[in-house]
Each structure stands twice: as C-alpha cells, then as structure tokens.
Amino acid sequence: MLLPTTQPRTIARPEEVERVTFDEAQEEEIRAILGRYPTRQAALLPVLWLAQQRWGWISPGIVQAVAERLELPPAFIEGVLTFYTMYQCRPTGRYLLQVCTTLSCQLCGTSELVSHLKKKLAIGFGETTPDGRFTLVSVECLGACGEAPVIQINDDYYTDLSVEALDELLDGLK
Amino acid sequence: MEPILLRARGEENSRSISTYLKLGGYSAMKRALISSPADVIEEVKKSGLRGRGGAGFPTGVKWGFIPKDSPKPKYLICNADESEPGTFKDREIIHVDPHMLIEGMIIASYAIAANVAYIYIRGEFVREAQYLEQAIAEAYKKRYLGRNILKTGYDLDIYVHRGAGAYICGEETALLESLEGKRGLPRLKPPFPAVVGAFGCPTIVNNVETLACVPHIIERGADWFAGIGRPRNTGPKLFCVSGHVDRPGVYELPLGVTFREIIEEHCGGMRGGRKLKAFIPGGSSAPPLPAELVDTGADFDSVAAAGSMLGSGGLIVMDETVDMVWALENLMKFYAHESCGQCTPCREGSDWALDVLRRIRRGHGRPEDMETLLRIARFASQGMTICPLGDAFCGPIEGFIKHFGHEFEAAIAKASPLPAKKLPVLPVRSGRGAFGI
C-alpha cells in the first residue's frame, strides 16, 4: 500500500493576494538568494518559487511585489512566468496531480490511469474538483521513466502506479 | 563490471557524507587541490571522458577552452535539468551518491579556476534539490567548500538553482538564460559559453554524470578510466532502460556493450515474452532503430554508424504491439510543447508535423503526408535553428519513416478523405458586398 506523505498546497484566495508584502522571514530568504548571484535579475526564478511556496500561485499582485523588490518591469516578469510550466498563474487544488503522458509512461499504461482519474474526479485536464481538492494536469516527461507510469503530486513522485494503487493513494490525500 | 558511479547503491544512508568518506570519497579532491589546474585538465583529457549529457564532446578539451588570461570570474555549471524523455540517470546519481557529484564539481571548478558553481536542476526534482542542498551543507561543514578549502587557499561556493519546467533549459545556452532569470531562449553560438557564458563570463556547463566520473579519473588515473569501454568511447556509462522490458531501471555498464546484452541479460528480456520491434538508443531525440540492429554496440561511434545517437543513454524499448505512427505522434506532442518558439522552422515545423501525424492517426492521411513530414524534417534541421531542438524532432521523423515507413503507408492507405469544410456563405444583397460595403 502506498502511504502518501505529500502535504497539501496552501492556496491563497484571489482577494488575499491582490496586494502582498514580503514578511521578515521571506525578506531574509530573498537577501540570501540575492547573495548567490552577481545580478538581481538572476534571483527572479528563486523568488517566484518562494512566493509560490507561500501563496500557492502567482497573482498579478505578487508579480507587482516581486517587480518592486527586484526592480524589474512587471511585463518582464510576466514573460518569464508564462514561459515555465511550473509557476501557477491561477489558484489550483490542494493537490496538483501532474500525470506524465510522454512515451515511456504511455508504453506502461498511463492512458488507463488518465481515463480512470478523469472519470473518478469528473474533471478533465486543466480542471479542478469543485471541493478544491484536486487539479489534474498532463505534463511531459518527468525523468523517472524506469518506474513508469509516474504521477507527480505537489512535490512528490509516485511511481509504478496501477489503477488500484492510485485509488488508495488519492483516498489518503485529504 | 565493478560498479563505479553507482558503487554506493544498496549502502545504508548512501547519500550521507560519512558513507561517501567510508568508500574513499573526497580523496581525489585532496589530490587535485595539490596539483596544478593544468595537470587536472590534462588527466581528464587523457582519460578520453566524453560528455554524458548527449553531445559526447570531450570534457577535458571543453575545460581547455576557458581563456587563461581573462580577468573575469569563471563559472562551473552542473546541468541537472535531465528532461530528455527516456533519461533518468542523473536523478539516480543524486538519489544514491550526491557527494560524488559535489566532489567532481570541486575538482572541475578548481581546474577552470571558478570560485562559484551552480547546479541547475529541473524544477520537478524538488526532493533531489533537497538532497543536494543537504550534501552541500555537509561538505561546507567539513570545509570541503567555502573559503580556503582545507587550507589550500582555494575558495569555492556551490549553489542549487531550480528550473521551473522547460525541456529547452537542458540546452546549455538556454540554461544560462534561465540561470540569469530570463525565459529559456537558446543563444546563438559563437560566442561559446567557455568564452561568454553565465553573466557574460567564461563558463563551463557539464552534465551530472560527466562530473561524477571526474573523481574516479583523478583517483585511479586516466589510463584506468580509458581501459574501460572501447577506444574513443571510454569509461563506465549509465544506461536508463524504460518501456517494454522486464526490469527497467538504471544500469552501469562499459560503453560498447550491445543493446541485446542490455535488454536480454541485464533487463531480463522483453516484458510478457513479446517480441522486440524497435528501440530508441539515446533518449527521444535519437532516431529509433529496428530490432534487427539490436547487436549494435552502445557507444557514441557505433550508434552513430547505425544511423542514430547514443545521446543521454536513455534506451526506450518497444515491443511488437506498438503502433509506430502513434509513437511518433506522442514524441511530436512533446517537441511541439517544448519548442521555445524562437525559430520559425522549429516552432512551426514541430506543430505542423504533429498536425499531420494526428490526421493520419484519425484515419484521414493523405498520399503526400510522408513526403510532407520528410520535408519538414529537412527544413527544420541541420543549422536552420539556433539550438538543436530542431534536429531533436527531425531525426525521429526521419528515423521512424526510414525504418517503419510501411506502417505509415498502411495507415494512409486505409484513410478516408476528410469531409470538405463547408464555408458559410453570406447572403449578398443586391448592389452591396457581403460586408455591406
């Protein structure tokens, strides 16, 4: 049996992140990040990670705060934000189910998992269950093909999955 | 072969510095720091080590490209972006033995006179990034990192930099852009990163597995390393086997072992006793090879002679049940999604090829479709794009059609033509055009 250890993501409501300020703990981390690079701009990816860790997604208000802190144009940050797939620009469910749909996983039965998930959760790719628990997305190769099929849930990989194992796993994620 | 890169597999707490030291770790670093950087580079050149990230470029030669007289800071970057479908060896090294990578990075940084090194790791590898942070913290505690390492006067800091989901950032110049906080759009070369790399300074980008080989070369000598594998293709190699084999996983074998031996002996043969149809020898960008070529040696030169590439060592095995049009469509979905969009041939070509393949798969193929796919492959590869992503999706198109063209022909032959689209006809009033003009 799979014992999920994955913690739920904290997802801020849109009204909570209309305007944000970094608290002292975050400020301290930002200063440490800035110390690692010769330019301020290089801190952008780590600072976006730090913000997403705290609020669950990157709202326009967060973009504004990062822009002011790193002295970068908001439009530049938007460009970077949307280039990468892992920054969320909208609130997601507490558990982000990222199903690998590239060749090796497909050869080992991913499509069965996908149709099961879609039916069980009654949502399609890119959608969130009405209770805000799960968001289902399709992703490209997760780099764990020897243990296919693979699903990443928040920060954790779950590998060698069958429909039964997946059911048990989801039941454990509250 | 004795395990080298995966020697700590199965050890208790294999990731801890105490286990690494018990197995003789960090003695190569001590040896390197008392010799001259030029001697370290010479030893790595002599070993014949070729880059394990996909291109197979000689590592020592690459290090030698760093300009000696440049007053600028130098950087070493470890490429841990591992995103090539079918590849999962760097993750294995980080899971089993992150200190081997750290030690390799210290030696490489010393050789190129870098005082700051970054590990660029793909964003999805959250746990792996934590393992690396932990290993780095342990190394600082032992004074293997930081100021005046073991009183040799050499300073080095290593930082982990997480990507955020983009295959293209495994390409070294896109990686540099991403490290600098930008979109991962590959740069035109020249200038090469060794001259103008991270933050405009001389930079070496090496793959995880490449750097993990370095301590062993320094510890046991270039001749020992060169004695493993075949001439020009030296050393141990991690092969990542996925797909329809009985025991998929990461196997450490000498370069030059045959694909038959990997599949039949190490991976326990085909899953369910089915027949081998095709294998992709080096990650999804390598053209597939048919079952008849399974006796090809798994080294850079032999695979190239067979019309594909060893790439990252990601072996994807497909049995007789696999529809090759489906397989190519799946890969094209990947490339169309991962194209950075900068160069027209790649952006449009990958998406166009995907459209054609989808149409064939839906039963609406046209007689000219194979020619169209091959034309796309000709126009988006071989220098028509800034980075090799163009070649990465064109090689598979050509390879799938070369070896499995009959499957494409059969799918097209039983196609029904698409119903002609009925365009809406707007009523024309007398004396006026459709838009009231």
Q: Which H or E element spans position B250?
A: strand B249-254
Residues A99 and A156 in one domain: yes
Whichever domain contains A139, its CATH number is 3.40.30.10
Residues A38 and A71 in one domain: yes
pLDDT value at residue A4:
63
Q: Which residue of A has its CA nearest to B129?
A: A155
What mean pLDDT is predicted for residues A53-66?
Answer: 97
Q: How far apart are CA B208 and CA B109, in angstroms?
A: 14
Best of A45, A57, A114, A158 to substitute, by most chain B Cβ atoms within 10 angstroms, is A45
B391 in Cβ contact with B381 (< 8 Å): yes
Query: What are the tokens at A128?
Result: 């969130």
DSSP letters spanning B393-434: HHHHHHHHHHHHHHHHHHHHHT--PPPPP-PPPPP--TTS-T
Residues A21 and A70 in one domain: yes
pLDDT value at residue B428:
58
Contacts of A145 in chain B (CB under 8 A): 85-88, 240, 242-243, 248, 314, 316
Q: How far apart are CA B2 and CA A129, in angstroms?
A: 51
Question: Chain A neighbours among B 167-226 (CB < 8 Å)?
Answer: 167, 178-184, 199
B288 in Cβ contact with B278 (< 8 Å): yes
CB spacing of B242 vs A36 below 8 angstroms: no
* A94-119: pLDDT as tens digits: 999 999 999 999 999 999 999 999 99
- Residue-level length of chain A: 174
Topology given in CATH for the domain delimited by B238-319? Ubiquitin-like (UB roll) (3.10.20)
- Say if A9 falls within a structural domain: no
Residues A166 and A111 in one domain: yes
CB spacing of B181 vs A45 below 8 angstroms: yes
Does B429 have pLDDT greater than 60?
no
Mind telling me how many Å the CA of A49 is from chain B's nearest CA? 8
Residue A174 CB-density burial (10 A; 0-12 exposed, 13-18 middle, 19+ buried): exposed
Q: How far apart are CA B433 and CA B437, in angstroms?
A: 5
Q: Which H or E element spans position B243?
A: strand B236-243
Query: Tokens 């003695």 appear where?
Result: B27
Query: Tokens 């090294």 appear where?
Result: B93
| Residue type for position B368 | E
- Say if A88 falls within a structural domain: no
Residues A118 and A151 in one domain: yes
Question: Chain B neighbours among A 97-136 (CB < 8 Å)?
Answer: 98, 101-104, 106-108
**Could you tell me if B316 lies within 8 Å of chain A, comparing CB atoms?**
yes
- Phi and psi torsions of A26, nearest 5°: -65, -40
Angle of helix B89-96 relative to helix B208-220, nearest 10 degrees?
A: 60
- Say if A2 falls within a structural domain: no
Does B432 have pLDDT greater than 60?
no
Residues A78 and A33 in one domain: yes
Look up the domain containing A144 and give its range.
95-171
Residues A107 and A139 in one domain: yes
pLDDT value at residue B430:
55
* Cα B344 versus chain centre, distance: 23
Contacts of B80 in chain A (CB under 8 A): none
* Cα B381 versus chain centre, distance: 18
Q: What order of strands is seen across the sheet that includes strand B203-207? A: B157-162, B116-121, B75-80, B203-207
Residues A117 and A161 in one domain: yes
What mean pLDDT is predicted for residues B410-425?
Answer: 78
Give the residue from A83, A104, A128 where a domain finishes: A83
What mean pLDDT is predicted for residues B233-247?
Answer: 96
Contacts of A37 in chain B (CB under 8 A): 199
Query: What are the tokens at A108?
Result: 């080992």
**Could you tell me if B268 lies within 8 Å of chain A, comparing CB atoms?**
no
Half-sphere exposure of A102 (CA within 13 A, CB side): 30
Cβ neighbours of residue B414 closer than 8 Å, sequence gap 6 or more:
B363
B296 in Cβ contact with B309 (< 8 Å): no
B298 in Cβ contact with B281 (< 8 Å): yes
Q: Which of B167, B182, B244 sits opposite A80 (nearest CB)?
A: B182
- Interface confidence, given as ipTM, is 0.96
Same fold, B17-226 and B238-319: no
**Could you tell me if A49 lies within 8 Å of chain B, comparing CB atoms?**
yes
CB spacing of B87 vs A143 below 8 angstroms: yes
Nearest in space to B395 (alpha carbons), one of B340, B349, B343: B349
Alpha helices in B52-150 (DSSP H): 59-64, 89-96, 98-112, 126-141
Q: How far apart are CA B226 and CA B178, in angstroms?
A: 35
pLDDT value at residue B434:
46
What mean pLDDT is predicted for residues B265-287?
Answer: 97
Sorted by where each begins, the domain ranges of chain B are 17-226, 238-319, 324-413
Topology given in CATH for the domain delimited by B324-413? de novo design (two linked rop proteins) (1.20.1440)
CB spacing of A79 vs B122 below 8 angstroms: no
Give the residue from A34, A56, A83 where a domain finishes: A83
Does B437 have pLDDT greater than 50?
no
Rg, C-alpha atoms of chain A: 18
Residues A102 and A158 in one domain: yes
CB spacing of A145 vs B244 below 8 angstroms: no
- Say if A89 falls within a structural domain: no
* B72-116: pLDDT as tens digits: 999 999 999 999 999 999 999 999 999 999 999 999 999 999 999
Contacts of B124 in chain A (CB under 8 A): 86, 98, 139, 142-143, 152
Nearest in space to A139 (alpha carbons), one of B85, B373, B354: B85
Q: How far apart are CA B209 and CA B93, in angstroms?
A: 7
Q: What top-level class would CATH report for the domain B17-226?
A: alpha beta
Residues A21 and A74 in one domain: yes
- Say if A144 falls within a structural domain: yes
Q: How many domains does chain A have?
A: 2
- Say if A4 falls within a structural domain: no
**A56 torsion bin: left (phi>0), alpha (psi -120 to 50), beta (else):** left
